[in-house]
Structure formats: structure tokens, C-alpha cells
Amino acid sequence: MPRQLQPELLDNLPAEHPDAVRSRRDLRLINALMGNHRWLARTLAGVLRDGDRVLELGAGTGELGRRLAATGRPVDGLDLAPRPPDWPPGPDWHSANLLTFAGYGRYDAVIGNLIFHHFSDKELAALGRSLGESVRVIVACEPARSKFSQRLFAFIAPLFRANRVTLHDAPVSIAAGFSGDELPRSLGLDPAAWRWQCRTTVLGAYRLVAIRAH
């Protein structure tokens, strides 16, 4: 299955549209089922140094940032959307396009949850170049692109009465997801300068931990 990028309905709905509200509820359930936020929090605790500044790409409604702040790990947010009203005090919020954001030089680590699959390989390569020399840690959780993931979603969707937007967007996300070491290679990470580990979980999560070796 080569990567296939298609527009997702949620990206073009007003934030307060009933289908958008329901779809975000579904995303919270999916994240909880897959353990994405728990894994990100655990992983960061093991790879960050004291004083490292962390930026979440595609921070959305701020749920992951609030969770990390509650554990004592403040993370700045970057998203096209404005700062959420309940964003924790202290961490910065950047309302900007992550492909043109000019502030990566201020950060030691970037993280993303279900965001990298929205971009083409060409865009991911440009993002990798934008990260520059300061970023030494990249942690990402994405959809694993496989027929099994598609079948698994089709099985569980009726169990939580997935909204029509979710029924469209989840298969689209999976088709745009990653397998093997596609994500670090799409970002253009140099194997001589980076060490990475990519793994896929039984519930269809693709997880990347990349650490700059030099």
C-alpha cells in the first residue's frame, strides 16, 4: 500500500460544528484505546534532558499539552488554530503553519500525535530541513498504514458509534500513515547523524523515536 493523501473532513469543519465536536470525541477515544498520550509521556521522560524545550506540532485543542503539563513536563504548542482557552499557563502557543514556522531553533525536541501523516513526502522533507541543528529528539505517534489497521477500525467503529466524519477520516488517515522507517526517511534524517526506532503496535499505532547522535 503506497501512501495516499486525501483531504480529511474534520480539517474543513468549523470547530463548533456538531460533527466536529463528535469527531473530536471519537479521536479522544481512539487516542485512549491506542494509548498514544500515555506512550508519548512515558517516552519523553526517558529521552529528554533537564532543561530541554519541547514543541508539540499540531497541538490542536491542547489535550496532550495539558496532560504533559500536569505531569511536570511543560510543552509549547504549535498549530494553525488559536491558543485554546484552557491551555496551561507558562507554555507558549504559536498560531502558525508548521511548514513555515521560523522558531524551531529554540527547541531541543519536537513531538507529534497524528499530525505527520497529513503531509506529503515533499512537505515532510522540507519540515525535516526546517528543524535545523538544534532539534535532537523527534517523537511521533501516527497511523500504521496497513490493511489490518483498516479492518481493525472497521470492526471497532460501530462499537463506539463513530461519527460520520470519523468514519471517513480514519481510513483516510490510515492510508496516509507510515510503515517501516518511512517517516524518518521522509523527514530526510541522515542515518549517520540520527539513531531511530520505528515500531507498530497491535492496535495500529506507528511510533517513531529519533535521537540525534552528534
Tens-place pLDDT, residues 95-124: 999 999 999 999 999 999 999 999 999 999
Instruction: Round to whole Å and give the CA distance between 54 and 51.
Output: 9
Instruction: Round to whole Å and give the CA distance between 88 and 178.
Output: 32
Instruction: Round to whole Å and give the CA distance between 214 and 23.
Output: 41
Upper half-sphere CA count for residue 11 (Cβ side, 13 Å): 15
pLDDT above 70: percentage of residues in the chain: 100
pLDDT at 127 over 90: yes
* Mean local confidence (pLDDT), 185-206: 96
Q: Which CATH number fits domain 9-212: 3.40.50.280, 3.40.630.180, 3.40.50.150, 3.40.605.10?
A: 3.40.50.150
Tens-place pLDDT, residues 37-92: 999 999 999 999 999 999 999 999 999 999 999 988 899 999 999 999 999 999 99
pLDDT at 214 over 80: no
* Mean local confidence (pLDDT), 139-150: 97
Instruction: Write down the pLDDT at residue 132.
Output: 86
Beta bridge partners of 133: none
Instruction: Write down the pLDDT at residue 1.
Output: 75
Query: How much is the mean pLDDT over the chain?
Result: 95
Residue with cell 530541513: 129
Instruction: Write down the pLDDT at residue 133.
Output: 87
Q: How far from each other are the two terminal CA atoms of the chain, in whole angstroms?
A: 34
Instruction: Round to whole Å and give the CA distance between 19 and 166.
Output: 9
Instruction: Write down the pLDDT at residue 15.
Output: 87
Instruction: Write down the pLDDT at residue 102.
Output: 95
| In the chain, domain spans | 9-212
Instruction: Write down the pLDDT at residue 61.
Output: 92
